[in-house]
């Protein structure tokens, strides 16, 4: 039970330009009486970046955002920096997304911090980061050995850390830390809906359904490269946690 006066924080991660999923999650967060919305990075890289960033910027002042690796890459593309090290299909989506944004949008993304700390009731001060506190693209999962995860959180003084990046919901205890992955609003794994967290005196995982037929229509009309594949993989269906875990070997690099 949440004590009176405890701040309620909605943590929405990895939206990936899925504006219909974002709209549903924000409505649910409002219904849950969230005082603050934390946007955990990888905000716009996806099929509806214009609608997504407009909706996020309209949340001010009750929203706080951090930068994800995909936000960084979109800014790189906007600025003309090379993204040639990425696979061709990924480069195409990044370049397309960057082309939809204004200079003000670019500056909003570029100015985002990489971490954020907020007080949250019995949880104390909670640290929010995208992938890990030291990197916006570092990988770990429930299967990653403790001796590999421990250095990723070295020096963190908060006992609760919320992250994203892999899109895999996680609630893991290590030493004195509780490490929680919020899943993904726009590219959920293991659920048909928008995944997010509600934090108060504890952390509650949430999945909010949205109109997937309307989402498919809007995404397919967007002009996004690979729009049909996005709809099939992330709107009409969802990857299983087991399938994603099999792909996310930490030695293989970064996720989206």
The 10s digit of each residue's pLDDT in 167-197 is 999 999 999 999 999 999 999 999 999 999 9
Mean pLDDT (the chain) is 94
Q: What percent of the chain lies above the pLDDT cut of 70? A: 95
Mean pLDDT of 241-248: 89
**Domain 9-252 CATH (choose: 3.40.190.10, 3.30.1330.10, 3.30.470.20, 3.60.21.10):** 3.60.21.10
Q: Provide CB contacts within 8 A for 243, sequence distance 6+.
A: none
Residue 256 pLDDT grade (very low, low, confident, very high; cuts 50, 70, 90): low
Residue 40 pLDDT grade (very low, low, confident, very high; cuts 50, 70, 90): very high
What is the C-alpha to C-alpha distance for residues 240 and 190, in angstroms, rounded to an integer?
A: 5
- Helices (DSSP H) in 7-137: which residue ranges? 19-31, 49-57, 69-79, 88-100, 103-110
CA dist 105 to 18, 51, 62, Å?
Answer: 17, 12, 18
Complete DSSP assignment for 192-211: SSEEEEEESSSEEEEEE---
- The reported pLDDT for the residue numbered 168 is 96
The 10s digit of each residue's pLDDT in 59-80 is 988 899 999 999 999 999 999 9
Number of neighbouring beta carbons within 10 Å of residue 57 = 13
Residue 247 pLDDT grade (very low, low, confident, very high; cuts 50, 70, 90): confident
Cα–Cα nearest to 203, from 10, 5, 4, 3: 10
Mean pLDDT of 139-164: 96
Mean pLDDT of 10-34: 97
What is the C-alpha to C-alpha distance for residues 70 and 98, in angstroms, rounded to an integer?
A: 11
What is the C-alpha to C-alpha distance for residues 153 and 174, in angstroms, rounded to an integer?
A: 10
Torsion sign, CA atoms 234, 35, 67, 170: negative
- The reported pLDDT for the residue numbered 45 is 98
Mean pLDDT of 103-124: 96
The 10s digit of each residue's pLDDT in 87-109 is 999 999 999 999 999 999 999 99
For the chain, what are the domain ranges?
A: 9-252
Mean pLDDT of 35-42: 98
- Greater confidence (122 vs 1) lies with 122
Measured torsion, CA atoms of residues 166, 195, 60, 101, in degrees rounded to the nearest 10: 60
Complete DSSP assignment for 40-69: -S--S-SS-HHHHHHHHHTTTTSEEE---H
Is the pLDDT score of 253 beyond 80? no
- The reported pLDDT for the residue numbered 252 is 46
Is the pLDDT score of 116 beyond 70? yes
Q: What percent of the chain lies above the pLDDT cut of 90? A: 90
Per the DSSP assignment, residues forming a β-bridge with 171 are 180
Cα–Cα nearest to 53, from 33, 79, 75, 32: 75
In contact, 40 and 22? CB cutoff 8 Å: no
What is the C-alpha to C-alpha distance for residues 236 and 104, in angstroms, rounded to an integer?
A: 33
């Amino acid at each position: 039970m949440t004590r009176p006066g405890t701040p309620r924080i909605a943590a929405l991660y990895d939206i990936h330009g899925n504006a219909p999923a974002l709209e549903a999650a924000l409505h649910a967060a409002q219904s849950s009486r969230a005082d603050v919305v934390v946007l955990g990075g990888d905000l716009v890289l996806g099929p509806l970046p214009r609608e997504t960033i407009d909706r996020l910027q309209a949340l001010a002042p009750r929203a706080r955002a951090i930068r994800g690796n995909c936000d960084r890459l979109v800014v790189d593309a906007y600025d003309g920096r090379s993204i040639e090290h990425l696979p061709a299909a990924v480069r195409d989506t990044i370049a397309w997304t960057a082309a939809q944004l204004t200079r003000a949008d670019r500056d909003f993304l570029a100015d985002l911090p990489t971490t954020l700390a907020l007080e949250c009731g019995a949880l104390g001060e909670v640290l929010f980061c995208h992938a890990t506190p030291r990197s916006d693209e570092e990988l770990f999962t429930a299967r990653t050995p403790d001796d590999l995860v421990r250095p990723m959180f070295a020096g963190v003084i908060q006992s609760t850390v919320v992250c994203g990046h892999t899109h895999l919901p996680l609630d893991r205890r290590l030493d004195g830390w509780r490490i929680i992955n919020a899943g993904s609003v726009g590219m959920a794994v293991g659920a048909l809906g928008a995944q997010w967290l509600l934090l108060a005196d504890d952390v509650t995982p949430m999945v909010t359904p949205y109109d997937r037929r309307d989402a498919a229509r809007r995404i397919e009309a967007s002009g996004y490269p690979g729009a049909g594949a996005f709809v099939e993989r992330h709107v009409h269906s969802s990857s299983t946690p087991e399938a994603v875990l099999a792909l996310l070997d930490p030695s293989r690099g970064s996720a989206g």
